[in-house]
C-alpha cells in the first residue's frame, strides 16, 4: 500500500526532497535559501511559459525521460526484479541522451556524450548491487529484501561504500556533475528544453532522487529504522560532498568508477559467495 502511495506521489515527494536540499545547500553557504515549496513554484511557473520546441522528437524525448523515470520507480517499488528496474533506468537516461544528441547545439551534444560516460560508470555498479542483494537475501524481489531478517549493510559494506560514491554521478552532484556542468556547458542535455518541456526533465530529476534513496533504504533489510537512518546519512553526506568539492574530468570519473569502486564491489561479492 505504502509502495503504491510513494509511486503515485513520487514527483511531489521528490520535489520536497529537492526543496530541502536547496535549503541545506544555502545554509552551508551561510545564506537563508528559498522556501521549501520553491521547486513547486518553479514547476507552476514553467507550466505557464510559451511552449517553444526545437523539433518534435527532442520535445518527445524530454517527456519520455519523465515517463520512463516514473515507470522505473513503479517497477522498483511495486514488487518486481531489481534488475529490471535498473534496466528501465537505462532506458530513461537513454531517452535524455537521444534528445540531447538530436539538436544542433554543441553544448547539448557534448552533454549527451558525457551522460553516456556517466552511464558506463554507474550502471555496472547498480547491477553488481542487485547481484549482491540476491546473494544475501536469495531474491531480486523488493518484498523479499524488505522482509529479510538481517542487516544487509553489515554484509555488504563495500558495496554500500561504492554506492555512496556513485550517487553523486546519478544525481549530477559535484565532484561528478560532469554531464550538466552549469558553468561550462550550462546544463548539458537539458540546455535546449524550455517551458513545459524543461519542466518534464526537471521533474524527472526529482523522481530520480526517490529512485536512488529507495536503493539506499533497501540496505536496512527489515529494520526500517536502520533504512531511514541510512537514507538521512546518505542525503547529508551527498550534500556535504556536493558543496565541498570541485568538478572532475570525465576520464577521472570513469577511471575512479572502474578501477576503484567496481573492484571493491566485486571483492565484496566474492567474500559473500565464499562465506556462504
CA-CA distance, 98 to 36, in Å (whole number)?
33
Nearer to other proteins, 152 or 188 (CB): 188
Cis geometry, peptide bond prior to residue 175 (ω within 30 degrees of 0): yes
Question: How far apart are CB 194 and other proteins at their closest, in Å?
Answer: 4
Contacting other proteins (CB under 8 A), which of 9, 31, 260, 273?
Answer: 31
Cell of 128: 553488481
Nearer to other proteins, 29 or 56 (CB): 29
Q: Using CB under 8 A, which residues numbered 152 to 211 contact other proteins?
A: 182, 186-187, 191-195, 198
Question: How far apart are CB 38 and other proteins at their closest, in Å?
Answer: 5
Question: How far apart are CB 43 and other proteins at their closest, in Å?
Answer: 8
Nearest to 132 by CA among 99, 155, 100: 155
| Residue 124 contacts other proteins per CB under 8 A | no
Among left, alpha and beta (phi > 0; psi -120 to 50; other), residue 174 is beta
Question: How far apart are CB 195 and other proteins at their closest, in Å?
Answer: 5
Nearer to other proteins, 54 or 248 (CB): 54
Nearer to other proteins, 29 or 149 (CB): 29
Question: How far apart are CB 30 and other proteins at their closest, in Å?
Answer: 5
Question: How far apart are CB 190 and other proteins at their closest, in Å?
Answer: 8
Contacting other proteins (CB under 8 A), which of 38, 174, 222, 239?
Answer: 38
| Residue 41 contacts other proteins per CB under 8 A | yes
| Residue 48 contacts other proteins per CB under 8 A | yes
Q: Are 165 and 261 in contact (CB under 8 A)?
A: yes
Contacting other proteins (CB under 8 A), which of 16, 17, 42, 161?
Answer: 42
Contacting other proteins (CB under 8 A), which of 4, 5, 9, 49?
Answer: 49
Question: How far apart are CB 46 and other proteins at their closest, in Å?
Answer: 8
| Residue 56 contacts other proteins per CB under 8 A | no
Residues that bind other proteins (CB under 8 A): 22, 26, 29-35, 38, 41-42, 44-52, 182, 186-187, 191-195, 198
Amino acid at each position: 500500500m505504502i509502495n503504491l502511495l510513494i509511486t503515485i506521489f513520487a514527483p511531489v515527494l521528490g520535489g520536497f526532497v529537492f526543496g530541502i536540499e536547496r535549503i541545506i545547500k544555502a545554509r552551508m553557504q551561510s545564506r537563508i535559501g528559498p522556501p521549501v515549496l520553491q521547486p513547486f513554484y518553479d514547476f507552476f511557473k514553467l507550466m505557464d511559459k510559451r511552449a517553444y520546441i526545437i523539433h518534435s522528437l527532442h520535445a518527445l524525448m524530454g517527456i519520455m525521460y519523465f515517463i520512463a523515470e516514473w515507470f522505473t520507480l513503479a517497477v522498483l517499488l511495486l514488487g518486481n526484479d531489481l534488475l529490471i528496474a535498473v534496466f528501465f533506468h537505462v532506458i530513461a537516461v537513454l531517452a535524455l541522451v537521444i534528445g540531447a544528441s538530436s539538436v544542433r547545439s554543441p553544448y547539448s551534444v557534448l552533454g549527451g556524450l558525457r551522460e553516456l560516460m556517466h552511464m558506463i560508470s554507474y550502471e555496472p555498479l547498480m547491477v553488481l548491487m542487485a547481484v549482491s542483494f540476491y546473494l544475501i537475501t536469495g531474491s531480486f524481489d523488493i518484498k523479499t529484501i524488505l522482509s529479510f531478517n538481517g542487516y544487509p549493510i553489515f554484509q555488504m559494506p563495500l558495496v554500500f561504500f561504492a554506492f555512496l560514491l556513485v550517487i553523486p554521478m546519478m544525481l549530477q552532484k559535484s565532484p561528478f556533475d560532469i554531464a550538466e556542468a552549469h558553468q561550462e556547458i550550462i546544463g548539458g542535455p537539458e540546455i535546449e528544453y524550455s517551458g513545459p518541456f524543461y519542466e518534464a526533465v526537471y521533474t524527472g530529476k526529482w523522481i530520480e532522487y526517490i529512485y536512488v534513496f529507495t536503493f539506499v533504504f533497501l540496505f536496512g533489510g527489515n529494520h526500517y529504522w536502520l533504512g531511514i537512518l541510512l537514507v538521512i546519512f546518505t542525503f547529508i553526506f551527498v550534500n556535504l560532498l556536493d558543496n565541498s568539492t570541485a568538478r572532475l574530468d570525465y576520464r577521472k570519473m570513469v577511471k575512479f568508477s572502474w578501477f576503484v569502486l567496481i573492484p571493491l564491489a566485486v571483492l565484496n561479492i566474492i567474500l559473500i559467495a565464499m562465506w556462504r
